[in-house]
Structure formats: structure tokens, C-alpha cells
Amino acid sequence: MNKETTKENVNEKSLTKDKKSFKDRIKDNFKITIHEIVLAGILIGLFIISGLFISIKLQGIMDIGITFVFLIMFGLIFGPIKGVFFALIADTITLALGTYGIGAWMWEYEIMTVGIPLMAWAFKYLFTIKQKYWWISMVAINSITIIGIFIVILISSNNPLLQTASRRNYNFDGNTQIMIYCMAGFLFLIELIMFIVYGFKKNDNLKLVISITTLVAMIIIIWIWIWGPIAYVRFLQRLANQGYSKYSIDHYTYEKYYKIALWARVLKTPIITPIYVAILIPLYKACEFTINKTNGNKY
């Protein structure tokens, strides 16, 4: 009886919240509470620490950072306005304290700082939509993700220049590439199994895992695979232009370096995906719990 009463109260609270006017929703995106400032300060601090000191070293551009996790968190927790604002503060401070200083600011990377929180905020609505629409959305998004992965891998693996350069720079033989493809396939198999299990059990925690995994996959494809190599090549060109490289700016062409950078990002996807998901889920739940406990607001 108590459980039923609790569920009714929760539903009633959610229904009341849904009746907020558009004007009130806009105001909520500009109001910042003391608790949010404290929470944002913690996330900004974690972003700076991860950006300056935490990186899984593989080889060359195969280093793996976790700053994207906190960009996603800014969007999920604080919404579009405050989320982007806090993300820009975190990125600017990290850049100022980094090797090249604030002079290394590039709009190609700032687009990612703005775009990822916005995408995370928009995606969060899928966490709470009706069951039927959630299934349709998840299946559609995952289908697009799988198609995108196979297209990118197919284009990359058929490029002779890319194969030669990647093996020369990273010593990846055919067996290693096959293993990584298998790991990627295994990750999607796990998500498929979660879909099937969720279909029978309707577990909210499992629904959150599937949703966040899908969000991470979409962000990896759009911002790491597609846009990441563009920003990276532009970064190399800028270093060459400022005299930090032994090569001239003409050496770093998109034709020569885009697919090399893309290949590196494809290879590390099976590694960063579970890392991002494993960090995001408990961090998101903890932040949501503290905000809801303090003021009852969700964004």
C-alpha cells in the first residue's frame, strides 16, 4: 500500500511539473542556486584535473582523456544555458593552465565544448518519454549509429595510405584490427541483450544504462569520429604556422591526416565507450539525487 501511495505521489509531482509554463521553463534555465554553484564547482574541478593530469597513454594521438564525460554531465544536469556556461568556464581555465596557454584557443574545439552539453541536454528528454516512444527512439538512434560505424570503418579500411600510415605509426597489425572490430561488435551485442532483458523486466536502471550508452555512442560518432579529425588537423596546421612543428603548414593537409586521425579514433572507441558509460552513470545519478534532494528541480 505504501509503495502504491509513493508511486502516485511521484506521478502527481511529475504531472504538476509538466504543467510549468514555457516562460517558467525559460526562467529556470537562467536561475542558479547555491547548490548548483557548488555542484558546478566540483564538476569544473574534475574537468580541469582530468584535462591536465588524467590521460590513458597508448601511442601518439591514441591518448584517451575523459573530459567529454564532464561536458556531457554539464548538459544533463544544468540544461542548455547553464550547462554551456559552466562547460566554457571549465574549458577556458583548463586551456589557460595547459601547455600552450589561452593563445591555443580554437573555435574548432570550442564548438565541441558548446555542442556536447547541448546534445546531452536534448537527449535527456528521451530518458523520461513514454515507453512506446522511448523504444522507437532508441531503436532508430542505435540503427543510425551502427550504420555510421560500418560506413566509417569500410571507408577507412579500404584506404591504402591510411593502412600504411596507421601501421607505421601505431604498429597495428591485421590481428589487432580484427580484435578491435570484435570488441566493437561485442559492445553492440551487450546493448542488444540489454534491450531484450529490458523488454521483459522494465527495469529503470537498465533503461538509464541503455539511454546513456546510446548517448555516448552518438557523441563519439559526431564529435570524436567526424568532427574530431577536422579539429585535430587544424590544430596541427596552427602549430606549424606558429613554428612549433618542423613541418610547414602545407604538410598538414586534410587529405593526408584526416583519415589517419579518424582511424585512431575508431580504434579507441571500444575502450572509451565503457569508460565513459561507467563514469557517467553513477556520477549522473549522484548529481541528480543531490539536486532533487535540495530543490526538487530537474532540467
pLDDT at 88 over 50: yes
Distances 76 to 70, 136, 243 between C-alpha atoms, Å = 10, 21, 40
Q: Which residue has the higher pLDDT, 29 or 168?
A: 29
* pLDDT band at residue 124 using 50, 70 and 90 as cut-offs: confident
Residue with cell 581555465: 93
- Retrieve residue 127's grid coordinates: 530518458
For the cut 80, the answer to whether the pLDDT of residue 202 exceeds it is: no
pTM for the full predicted model? 0.76
Position 7 scores a pLDDT of 43
pLDDT of residue 62: 55
Q: In whole numbers, what is the pLDDT of the chain averaged over residues? A: 75
In this structure, are residues 35 and 287 in contact, taking their beta carbons and an 8 Å threshold? no
Asked whether the predicted pLDDT for residue 225 surpasses 90, the reply is no
* Rounded Cα gap, residues 219 and 124, in angstroms: 13
- pLDDT tens for each residue of 5-60: 444 344 433 333 444 565 666 777 778 888 889 999 999 999 999 988 766 555 55
Q: Quick one: pLDDT at residue 252?
A: 82
State percent of the chain over pLDDT 90: 22
Residue 72 pLDDT > 90: yes
DSSP-H helix ranges across 105-159: 107-124, 131-157
In sign, the C-alpha dihedral spanning 247, 106, 116, 96 is: positive
Instruction: Please state, in angstroms and rounded to a whole number, the distance separating the CA atoms of residues 279 and 157.
Output: 31
State the average pLDDT over residues 81-89.
Answer: 95
Q: Distance between CA atoms of 265 and 278, rounded to whole angstroms? A: 19
Whether 74 shows a pLDDT value over 90: the answer reads yes
Q: Which residue has the higher pLDDT, 216 or 23?
A: 216
* pLDDT score for 114: 96
Q: Is pLDDT above 50 for 168?
A: no
**Distance of CA 16 to CAs 10, 133, 297, Å?**
10, 21, 12
